[in-house]
Amino acid sequence: MKISILTLFPNLFNEFLSTSIIKRAIENNKVEIEIIDFREYSKDPHKKVDDTPYGGGAGMVLQCQPIFDCVEDIKTPESKVILLTPSGIPYKQSVAYDLSKEKHLIIICGHYEGFDDRIESLADYIISIGDYVLTGGEIPAMVLADSITRLIPGVITEDSHIEDSFNENNLLDYPTYTKPADYKGMKVPDVLISGDHKKIDEWRKNESIKRTQERRPDLLNK
Ligand code: ADE
């Protein structure tokens, strides 16, 4: 799997690419993550990539030319193009699963007041990571690259994501604990120390349902 990220702020990705599981996935050739500064594609003498909005209004709008030329340059028949914007379709684990099966993802990070709307014509997916507005698409791009990379076979152990929140059963994850069994009077539930795996499975299932009812009742209605 290759992920190409189109951004005006390539430096933001340095730590992301050189830390922990993402770093290891890159070193083990499970994923290639390419960061492209699309300003390089600008045909403007001053490498300008944005301009004021038609009809007036605040802020600057990303122009078509640099982004169209960049996508045309790197796109292959196997590429899927993702546009990140708060006006996109909400991102969720099932979309991460679908995307983790693709060969090449091109992720476009917006900035300033947004994109010229004609840029949407390039996109196979228009995605928002949540109902809030960030200063740009770089953090959302890391959210996608991270959540997709960890689903690529061999990046983390299969068990780790089979038991994640939001899997097919649409339940939140159950509570987990580690040593010590008593921390400042807060005790690990006896059942987890009992060694009775049937009881442990039952307890975990019930806790998942309870937690989902309390925190995300909307998931249970799906
Ligand atoms: N750019 C700014 N805010 C965003 C969001 N919530 N999702 C995706 N891209 C964004």
CATH number, domain of 23, equals 3.40.1280.10
153 and 193 in a single domain? The answer is: no
167 burial (CB, 10 Å; 0-12 / 13-18 / 19+) is middle
Residue carrying the six token digits 């007036």: 56
CB of 85 closer than 6 angstroms to any ligand 1 atom: yes
The number of distinct structural domains making up the chain is 2
In whole angstroms, give the CA distance from residue 162 to residue 165.
9
Q: Which secondary structure element, helix H or strand E, spans residue 89, and what is its range? A: strand 79-90
For the chain, the average pLDDT equals 95
| Ligand 1 atom nearest to CA at 91 | 7
pLDDT at 164: 77
In whole angstroms, give the CA distance from residue 104 to residue 76.
8
Q: How far is the CA of 6 from the centre of ligand 1 (A)?
A: 14
33 and 143 in a single domain? The answer is: yes
pLDDT at 93: 95
**pLDDT, tens digit (0-9, with 9 covering 90-100), for 42-78:** 999 999 999 999 999 999 999 999 999 999 999 999 9
In angstroms, the Cα distances linking 33 to 10, 15, 22, 58, 109 are 12, 13, 9, 34, 14
pLDDT at 203: 98
CB 118 within 8 A of CB 143: no
102 and 39 in a single domain? The answer is: yes
pLDDT-derived band at 161, boundaries 50, 70, 90: confident
131 and 202 in a single domain? The answer is: no
The DSSP 8-state label assigned to residue 126 in this structure reads E
In whole angstroms, give the CA distance from residue 163 to residue 129.
22
pLDDT at 168: 67
CB 143 within 8 A of CB 42: no
- What residues contact residue 147 under an 8 Å CB cut-off, 6+ apart? 93, 96
Q: How far is the CA of 128 from the centre of ligand 1 (A)?
A: 5
- What residues contact residue 34 under an 8 Å CB cut-off, 6+ apart? 2, 3, 4, 5
In whole angstroms, give the CA distance from residue 63 to residue 82.
17
37 and 95 in a single domain? The answer is: yes
Examine the fold and report which residue of 112, 136, 158 is the final residue of a domain before the chain moves on.
158
Residue nearest to atom 9 of ligand 1 (CA): 85
pLDDT at 189: 98
Examine the fold and report which residue of 158, 177, 196 is the final residue of a domain before the chain moves on.
158
112 and 26 in a single domain? The answer is: yes
Residue nearest to atom 10 of ligand 1 (CA): 85
Domain region containing 140: 2-158
pTM: 0.94
- Kind of pairing between the strands at 186-187 and 182-183: antiparallel
| Ligand 1 atom nearest to CA at 129 | 7
Nearest one of 105, 150, 100 to 6, comparing CA atoms: 105
Window from 64-73, 98-107, 111-120, 206-215 with minimum mean pLDDT: 111-120
Examine the fold and report which residue of 140, 158, 176 is the final residue of a domain before the chain moves on.
158
35 and 66 in a single domain? The answer is: yes
191 and 125 in a single domain? The answer is: no
133 and 181 in a single domain? The answer is: no
Task: Look at residue 58 and give its three-state secondary structure.
Answer: coil
CB of 66 closer than 6 angstroms to any ligand 1 atom: no
pLDDT at 158: 75
